Chains A and B, each alone.
Chain A
Amino acid sequence: MEVTLLLEATENAFRIMEDARRHAMGLLDTAVQFTAEETHYADRKKYEAIFSGAQRKKARFQNFIGTLMILFAFWILLSGRFDLFHLTLGAICCALVALLFHDLLFANVRVGDMRVVAARFIGYIPWLIRQIVTANLHVAALALRPKMPISPQVICYRTKLETDISCVTLANSITLTPGTITMDIQDGVYYVHALSRRVADDLNAGEMEDRVAHIFMEADHLYVQDVLDAARIYKALRM
Chain B
Amino acid sequence: MIKDSGDVIVKTLARLLAPFIVAYALYVVMHGHHSPGGGFQGGVILAASFVLLAITHGVGMMRRKLSERVAEVLSSVGVLIYAGIGFLCIFLGGSYLDYGRLYRVFGGSEAEARSLGILGVEIGVALAVMAVMCTIFLAIYKVGEEDPRDGGRK
Max chain A Cβ within 10 angstroms of own Cβ: one of B16, B22, B23, B27: B23
Query: A75-B27, A100-B22, A104-B19 in contact; A185/B7 too (CB < 8 A)?
Result: yes
| Residues on A with beta carbons closer than 8 Å to the beta carbon of B18 | 101, 104
Which stretch of A17-25, A33-41, A160-168 is in the interface? A160-168
Any B CB within 8 A of the CB of A97: yes
Identify which of residues 11-31 in chain B touch chain A, using a CB-to-CB cut-off of 8 Å. 11-13, 15-16, 18-20, 22-24, 26-27, 30-31
How many interface residues does chain B have, given as a range? 20 to 34
Instruction: Tell me, in angstroms, the Cα distance from A101 to B16 when the chains sit together.
Output: 10
Closest to A163 in B: B12
Which stretch of A50-58, A88-96, A144-152, A221-229 is in the interface? A88-96
Instruction: Tell me, in angstroms, the Cα distance from A101 to B6 when the chains sit together.
Output: 21
Q: Once the chains bind, are B9 and A94 in contact (CB under 8 Å)? A: no
Any B CB within 8 A of the CB of A141: no
The residue from B6, B13, B31 contacting A79, defined by CB atoms under 8 A apart: B31
Any B CB within 8 A of the CB of A42: no
Q: Once the chains bind, are A185 and B65 in contact (CB under 8 Å)? A: no
Any A CB within 8 A of the CB of B8: yes
B3 to chain A, nearest CB (A): 16
| Residues on B with beta carbons closer than 8 Å to the beta carbon of A172 | 9
| Residues on B with beta carbons closer than 8 Å to the beta carbon of A105 | 15-16, 19
Q: Once the chains bind, are B12 and A71 in contact (CB under 8 Å)? A: no
| Residues on B with beta carbons closer than 8 Å to the beta carbon of A78 | 23-24, 27
Residues on B facing A (Cβ under 8 Å): 6-9, 11-13, 15-16, 18-20, 22-24, 26-27, 30-31, 65
Residues on A facing B (Cβ under 8 Å): 67, 71, 74-75, 78-79, 81, 86, 89-90, 93-94, 96-98, 100-101, 104-105, 107, 164-165, 167-168, 171-172, 182, 184-186
Q: Could you name 8 residue pairs across A and B whose Cβ atoms are closer than 8 Å?
A: A81-B31, A96-B26, A101-B18, A104-B19, A105-B19, A107-B15, A164-B12, A168-B8
